[in-house]
Homo-oligomer: A and B are copies of this chain.
């Protein structure tokens, strides 16, 4: 089901729009509202994933459609603002407020309508995908940087902990409770090492030399040499 939100109080335009959209969109379902108040009430109960395309008229009984754009209801959605008014400021204002395109209502019956709507939908999908990829890349790079930093900062003192624990554990002249304490140091140190190793494995961290590593500087420490 392809859901389109149409916000317009001109019912004959809405009927025509539905007919045009049905000619190239299968399983079309239209949510139609005639005032800003109705749309706001609807949007409060719906998630943005409920529909894929918005047609937004400008002159509504209780205000202008551009208000909904400015209120941020349609972030990441393909919004096409429409009007029968050809006020020269309207297309620019709507694009600035977040519409992907502005159409005069007469464009509805022109041959450009179908390919333009399809192009807008395709573009919006591509934009969302690119945005998701960028976010995931940023997350992965951050994890790599942080884990790489931690591995460097923690591995040296951890090596000292494990080395000293090994020496103590193998001293022949320790009492049993002291050996037990040394074993506890060793097992706890290995546990910390395991956590770091698994994190490194999980992010497939390639071994890189210190000079090439991007790391967070631990506050209060001297910078690396």
Task: Tell me if A165 is interfacial: C-beta within 8 Å of chain B.
Answer: yes
Residue of B nearest to A121 (CB): B96
A182's contact among B96, B138, B164, by CB below 8 Å, is which? B164
Task: Tell me if A178 is interfacial: C-beta within 8 Å of chain B.
Answer: yes
A184's contact among B86, B164, B199, by CB below 8 Å, is which? B164
Contact check, B135 vs A191: say whether CB atoms are below 8 A apart: no
Residue of B nearest to A122 (CB): B96
Interface of A is mostly: helix
Copy number in this complex? 2
Among A29-37, A51-59, A147-155, A206-214, the one that faces the other chain is: A147-155
A143's contact among B98, B142, B174, by CB below 8 Å, is which? B142
Q: What separation, in Å, do the CA atoms of A92 and B24 have in the docked complex? A: 14
Contact check, A123 vs B143: say whether CB atoms are below 8 A apart: no
Residues of A in contact with B (beta carbons under 8 Å apart)? 86, 88-96, 98, 100-101, 110-112, 114-120, 122-123, 126, 131, 134-135, 138-139, 142-143, 146-147, 150, 153-154, 157-158, 160-161, 163-165, 167-168, 171, 173-175, 178, 181-182, 184-185, 187-189, 191-192, 194-195, 198-199, 201-202, 216, 218-221
